[in-house]
Structures are given as C-alpha cells and as structure tokens.
C-alpha cells in the first residue's frame, strides 16, 4: 500500500477556493481559472508547494509529535516574509491588510499524520516524485492540501479582496487533540 498526492490536483483546491470566494458567474469560471494558472506560471508556486511538501514528508509528524513539522512550516512562512505566530504546534499567519470590519476566510489544513502501517511498500519518510505523483506519508492527508492552501494564501494576499485571510497549519487533527485547532481558534483574529 502507498499513498500519493497528484501534484496538479493540489492546485484544483486553490482554483476552486478562489472561484468560490469571488462568487464567480458561470461565464467567468474559465477566464478566472486561466488567470489563476497564469499567476502560478509567473512565479513557481507549484514548485514551492512541492518542495515544501517534500520537506514535510521527510519529517515524522505523527499526532502529538508534530514539532518538527511545525518548525518546517514556521520557517517557510518566515522565508516568504509572512509574519507568523505559533502556539504549541499550530502555526498561522494573517494577511497584512487585515481589517476587523471585513469577513475573514480561514485557510486551514493539518500538519500531523497517522503512524505508518506495516503494509507500506515505500519508505513513508522518503519523498519520491514519479511523474506528477509525490509519494510519502502525509502527501495526501493532508500535506498536499496544506501546501496548496499556503500558495493560495501567498497569491491572494497580494490581491485586492473584500475579505481577510488567515492561514493556519493546525496540529493534532488525526486524534482530535486539545492542542490542535481548538487551541488555536481563540487566538486568531
């Protein structure tokens, strides 16, 4: 058994999110999706997401032991000049144009994984890219979503919006732990 994240599928998340948030009319969906793909090609957001996902796969991050994965996420946010906060192993950033009078969109995915099972046919902590598939523990649940949402945040933070954004990489989702999103939510704006 092995799990993979289809790299191109990760960015369907961000395209769908952008379209939904903008409440696009049916006629605009194709144009907006084309625009989003052009943005991604101008900067290597896909490459950044894959590189970050590889780092996360290489770091064991079983629930309640996600500290190294949280370090990776915190470092990535700092490298991309996004001021961040951390509480336990929850790491987040808030759009720089935050306005308390606007609604806020929370982009959340979790950094923890389950323990690898004996039936894995690959090293779960060695990211392996084969074609457009990236194999490794957490590549699908939920590293692909985590890294894709971060690219959404990066792209949309530089755009005019009628809403705020908060990006949260939360801990302990796999065990519904008290030190996960329930710890972070009261601290978010």
Residue whose structure tokens are 């009078």:
101
Residue range 162-187, pLDDT digits in tens? 999 999 999 999 999 999 999 999 99
* Confidence bin at 40 (pLDDT 50/70/90): low
* pLDDT band per the 50, 70, 90 thresholds, residue 44: confident
Buried b (16+ CB within 10 A) or exposed e, 35-47: ebeebbeeeebbe
Answer whether residue 83 shows pLDDT above 60: yes
- Rounded mean pLDDT, 120-148: 93
- Write down the pLDDT at residue 8: 42
Residues 189, 128: Cα–Cα separation, whole Å: 38
Structure tokens at 35: 């625009």
62 φ/ψ angles, rounded to the nearest 5 degrees = -60, 145
Please tell me the distance from the alpha carbon of residue 50 to that of residue 138, in angstroms, as a whole number: 13
What confidence score (pLDDT) does residue 46 get? 86
The answer for residues whose C-beta is within 8 angstroms of residue 186's C-beta and 6 or more apart is none
84-99 mean pLDDT = 97
User: In degrees, to the nearest 5, what angle opens at C-alpha 19 toward C-alphas 132 and 138?
Assistant: 35
Percent residues over pLDDT 70 in the chain: 78
| Averaged pLDDT, 96-117 | 96
* Average per-residue pLDDT for the chain: 85
Read off the pLDDT of residues 4-13 as tens digits, 9 standing for 90 and up.
444 444 444 4
Hey, how many other C-beta atoms are within 10 angstroms of the C-beta on 165? Answer: 22
Share of the chain above pLDDT 90, in %: 71
The 4-6 sheet, strands edge to edge: 4-6, 133-135, 128-130
Poorest-pLDDT segment among 43-47, 57-61, 96-100: 43-47
**pLDDT higher than 70, residue 106:** yes
pTM over 0.75: yes
Question: Contact, 84 vs 169, CB < 8 A?
Answer: no
Q: What is the largest CA-CA distance in the chain?
A: 51
| pLDDT recorded at residue 7 | 44
């Amino acid at each position: 058994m092995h799990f993979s994240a289809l790299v191109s599928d990760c960015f369907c998340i961000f395209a769908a999110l952008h379209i939904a948030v903008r409440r696009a009319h049916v006629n605009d969906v194709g144009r907006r999706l084309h625009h989003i793909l052009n943005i991604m090609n101008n900067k290597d957001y896909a490459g950044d997401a894959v590189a970050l996902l590889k780092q996360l796969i290489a770091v064991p991050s079983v629930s309640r032991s996600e500290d190294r994965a949280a370090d990776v996420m915190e470092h990535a946010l700092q490298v991309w000049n996004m001021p961040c906060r951390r509480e336990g192993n929850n790491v987040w950033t808030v759009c720089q144009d935050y306005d308390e009078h606007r609604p806020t969109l929370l982009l959340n995915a979790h950094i923890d994984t389950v323990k690898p099972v004996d039936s894995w046919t690959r090293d779960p902590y060695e990211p392996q890219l084969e074609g457009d598939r990236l194999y490794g523990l957490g590549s699908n649940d939920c590293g692909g979503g985590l890294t894709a949402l971060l690219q959404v945040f990066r792209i949309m933070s530089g755009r005019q919006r009628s809403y705020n954004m908060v990006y949260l990489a939360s801990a302990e989702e796999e065990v519904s732990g008290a030190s996960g999103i329930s710890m972070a939510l009261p601290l978010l704006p």
